[in-house]
Amino acid sequence: MVNSYRPTSLQEALNILAKEAVTPYSGGTDLMINPDVNATYLFLAKVPEMNQIVADTEHIRIGAACTFTDIIENELVPSILKEAALQIAAPAIRNLGTVGGNICNGSPKGDSALILFAIDAKLRLVSSRGERVLPITAFYLGRKKTALQADELLVEILMDRKGLNNYYYKKVGARDALAISRVSFAAILNVTDRKILNCITAFGAVSDVIIRRAEIDAMLIGKTIEEAKAAKEEYFAAYDQKIVPIKGRISAEYRKAVCMNLLRDFLKSNGI
């Protein structure tokens, strides 16, 4: 009985996925916690497109089966993602765990997924039927539910090459290493000609899906720093309404308070 496949090309992987119920396996760090003895794994570590980091004119393209160590060590990867990757788990897990797995796991606590929300990354999903590019914000449908179809693979993550330098990132966990985020927050703010060109915030580990509210962030866009200062209480109030944390091991009240503190600190760090 065949109980695994080790394709060496994307086409081969997609053909297998199209005709059989297999479990895509990239790093295995989530799968192996509760290994399914009946699963047939589709090992992705030898699929070239999924294991490389390249740049084209518009994007940095990160293969979904790249490990966090690959990300930390690659010169093309922007600091915002490196900083988050360095705080994931511990070296041995970073050597196996992959960014694609972190996304497809569907958890709102995925530390790299949060960053990809905050930079409006796009996901290239490919099946033997064709391919589509989906904004990561449209990928998550609910707790542990994603838009990935059974015959599709997340092949690459596309990040813009520009505008990612002025970022803010904080992971709040119980300890430095091997910590699952209690609250995580990432944001970008760019100012051009004294006006706020864009403001993106994302809250992880708070709700069923990472929280990203473009319509609230829009309240600050186009304003000067002075104008943003005047508008910030209204901005905080809007978030205060929209952030409804779930209760887990950590109380909803704690999560909410931390979210609002981080949001305030993010603006403060930008002089707002």
Partner 1 sequence: MMISFILNGQEVASAAKANERLLDILRTEFTRTGVKCGCKEGECGACSVILDGKLVNSCMVAMGYVEGSTVMTIEGYRETERFAALDRAYASVSAVQCGFCIPGMILASECILAKNPKPTEAEIRAGISGNLCRCTGYNAIVKAIGLAAKEGEGLW
- Which residues contribute to the site for partner 1 (CB under 8 A)? 2-4, 6, 25, 28-29, 31-33, 35-37, 39-41, 43, 45, 69, 89-93, 95-96, 176-178
User: Among residues 109 and 232, whose Cβ is nearest to partner 1?
Assistant: 109
User: Among residues 28 and 135, whose Cβ is nearest to partner 1?
Assistant: 28
User: Among residues 75 and 176, whose Cβ is nearest to partner 1?
Assistant: 176
Vertex 194: Cα angle to 224 and 166 (nearest 5) = 100
CB atoms < 10 A from the CB of 125, how many?
21
How many CA atoms within 13 Å lie on the side-chain side of 187?
Answer: 22
Q: Tokens at residue 173, please?
A: 């966990």
User: Among residues 69 and 146, whose Cβ is nearest to partner 1?
Assistant: 69
Q: Tokens at residue 216, please?
A: 């609230």
**Coarse DSSP helix, strand, coil percentages of the chain, rounded to the nearest 5 percent:** 35, 25, 40
SS3 11: helix
Exposed / middle / buried, residue 21 (Cβ in 10 Å: 0-12, 13-18, 19+) = exposed
User: Among residues 1 and 162, whose Cβ is nearest to partner 1?
Assistant: 1
SS3 31: helix
User: Among residues 3 and 11, whose Cβ is nearest to partner 1?
Assistant: 3
Q: What are phi and psi of 202, to 5 degrees?
A: -145, 135
Q: Tokens at residue 18, please?
A: 């199209």
